[in-house]
Amino acid sequence: MDNCIFCKIAKGEIPSNTIYEDDSFRVILDNGPATKGHALVLPKEHYADLFEIPEDVVAGAVKVAKKVASNMKEKLSCDGLNLVQNNGEAAGQTVMHFHLHIIPRYENDGQHILWKPTSPSAEELTAVKDTILGA
Ligand code: 5GP
Ligand code: ZN
């Protein structure tokens, strides 16, 4: 992908604040962080999203995230941590190269990575289940 900013960053063609790197992944600090330490796991190969990325690569990304998260817990003394991964504009994806957000959380950090719960009926939930299962 010639015009993909995350391809260029992942391959080291554009400088970044790299906090982890191996043959398949680079982890960089987000330049618009939600909190101190907010980082992105970037595969070095281009995949647009969860639907494109092969299973073994996404499994590798989660392994890397676990390693980095453990290091953050120790070094940044965060109180919690969110893993977030957006797919498609409707879900808030703005860079169309798969990335996994690692967002350390701190008491009273003022961020809200939450959703507003809705109240479907039992029948509505069953209908959704049936749709997903193709019943
Ligand atoms: P998305 O909304 O696609 O899940 O997340 C994209 C993230 O990439 C945002 O948090 C944004 O701040 C970050 N971002 C976008 N462009 C750059 C960049 O050039 N460098 C870095 N380090 N982060 C970027
Ligand atoms: Zn890319």
pLDDT in tens, 62-115: 999 999 999 999 999 999 999 999 999 999 999 999 999 999 999 999 999 889
Q: Which residue has the higher pLDDT, 1 or 53?
A: 53
For residue 114, the model assigns a pLDDT of: 84
Burial of 58 per CB tally in 10 Å (0-12, 13-18, 19+): middle
pTM for this one? 0.96
Strands 18-21, 25-29: pairing is antiparallel
Question: CA angle, 58 as apex, 56 and 64 as ends, to 5°?
Answer: 105
How many Å lie between the centroid of ligand 2 and the Cα of residue 95? 9
Residues near 39 by beta carbon (within 8 Å), at least 6 away in sequence: 19, 27, 28, 29, 30, 68, 72, 101, 102
> In this model, does residue 1 exceed pLDDT 90?
no
Q: How confident is the model at residue 135 (pLDDT cuts 50, 70, 90)?
A: low
How many Å lie between the centroid of ligand 2 and the Cα of residue 123? 42
Q: Which atom of ligand 1 is nearest to the CA of 32?
A: 12
